[in-house]
Amino acid sequence: MTQPPSGFFAGRRCLVAGGTGFVGSHFAEALLAAGAQVRVPLHIRPIAIDTPGIEYVEADLSRSGDCLKVMDGIDTVIHAAGSVGAAGVSAQDNLRGINENLHLTLMLLEAAWRSGVRRMLAFSSSTGYPASDTPVREDQFLSGPVHPAYSGYGHMRRYIEQLARHVSEQSGMHMCIVRPGAIYGPRDNFDPKSSHVIAALIHRAELRESPFLVWGSGNEIRDILHVHDFVRGCLLALEYGRNCDPVNIALGEGVTVRRLVDLVLAASGHRDADVRFDASKPTAIPVRLIDITKARSELGFSPTIPLADGLQQTVQWLRGRA
C-alpha cells in the first residue's frame, strides 16, 4: 500500500474518478490510509478493493448530472478515469478511446468547476513528447511533433493539458498536471486482448509460452514505474506542485525490452523459454526516456521499488487471484 509522506490529505474529501480501475484503486487505497474521506464512482467495472471507509456511488461519468452528483461536497479530485490504449488495437478502437477520454475529461472539469472543487489532478502522458534519444524534460513537451505511433493519443493528451489550464485560469482551481511513463503492478489489466506490454508479457510467461515471441528487436527502450511509486509521486505533486506546472512522474531510467523480457521470465520462473524477437513487427517509439529531475528537486520524489522486485510482486499478486 502506498503511504503519502505527510498529513496533507487528512480530512480532505477526495473523489477518485476511475477508482475501480488499476491506477485509480491504488489512489483510493493510499488516500484512505492518509486519513482522507474517499468517494469512488461505480458504473461498469466492479469494486476493485472492498475496503471499509471508501464510499462507492453509482454514477455514469459520461453524464453531466452524475458528475455533479459525485462532486457534491468534494474538495479534491483525482481524474484517473478513461480508456487506455493497448498494443495491436485497431485505428477505430484507438479513436473510440480518444473520444471517451476527451468526453470524460470535459464532463469532470465542468462538474469540478461548477461544484467549487479546490484542487484537481489531471493526467497527461509521456506520449505527448516528441521523439528523442535522450530523457525528455517538461519544457520539451511542445518542442516538436509527437511520434507517429502516438499521433492521436499524444495530441489528445496535449489538448487535455490546455483544457485543464483553461479551467484553472477561469475558476481559480489548483490544477496538478502529471505526465506518467509506463505503469505496472498489482491490479493491472491482464486481459491479452487489451493489456499493455508488461501485463501481456507476465500473462504469457505465466502460461509458459515457448517459443516466447516478442515484437520488435528487443533493443527498444522504455521507462517503467511501479504503481505504488507512481501514486506516491502524484500525491507529492498534488501537495507540493505548482499550479498548472506539469511534472514527469516516472522511473527516470530506461530498460530495454530484451532486458524486460528476461526480468519477467525470471519473476515468473519461466527461465527455459525459447525467446524470439521479430523485428519486422511494429513496436511504436524506439526510445522513450523520461527526465525526473524536476520531480526530485521540487517534490522530493524518488522511485523506491526496483523493477525486478516490482515484477516479482506483480506475478505473486496475479497468482493469488487464480
Number of domains in the chain: 1
How far is it, in rounded angstroms, from Cα 135 to Cα 34? 32
Strands (E), the chain: 13-17, 37-42, 54-58, 76-79, 119-123, 174-180, 182-184, 212-215, 221-222, 224-226, 247-249, 255-256, 275-278
How far is it, in rounded angstroms, from Cα 53 to Cα 43? 19
Give 149: exposed, middle or buried? Use CB within 10 Å, 0-12, 13-18, 19+: middle
Q: Look at residue 297 and tell me if it is in a domain.
A: yes
Is there a contact between 253 and 223 (Cβ–Cβ < 8 Å)?
yes
Neighbours of 9 (CB within 10 A): 21
> Which backbone phi and psi does 51 adopt, to 5 degrees?
-110, 125
Is there a contact between 173 and 120 (Cβ–Cβ < 8 Å)?
yes
Q: Look at residue 123 and tell me if it is in a domain.
A: yes
Is there a contact between 39 and 57 (Cβ–Cβ < 8 Å)?
yes
Question: Tens of pLDDT along 60-105?
Answer: 999 999 999 999 999 999 999 987 654 455 556 778 889 999 999 9
Under 8 Å CB-to-CB from 24, ≥6 apart: which residues?
A: 16, 17, 18, 40, 48, 78, 80, 81
The domain that holds 80 is classified in CATH as 3.40.50.720
Q: Look at residue 55 and tell me if it is in a domain.
A: yes
* Angle, alpha carbons 179-180-182 (nearest 5°): 150
Task: Name the residue type at position 51.
Answer: T
Helices vs. strands in the chain: H and E counts, helices first:
9, 13
With a cut of 70, list the residues of the chain below it in pLDDT. Answer: 1-5, 84-92, 322
How far is it, in rounded angstroms, from Cα 306 to Cα 266? 14
Q: Look at residue 214 and tell me if it is in a domain.
A: no
Q: Look at residue 67 and tell me if it is in a domain.
A: yes
What range defines the domain where residue 91 resides? 13-185+224-252+289-304
Q: What is the pTM of this model?
A: 0.94
Percent of the chain with pLDDT strictly greater than 70: 95
Q: Look at residue 41 and tell me if it is in a domain.
A: yes
Strand pairing class (212-215; 275-278): parallel
Query: What was the pLDDT predicted at 284?
Result: 87
Q: Look at residue 210 and tell me if it is in a domain.
A: no
Q: Look at residue 82 and tell me if it is in a domain.
A: yes
Question: Tens of pLDDT along 230-239?
Answer: 999 999 999 9
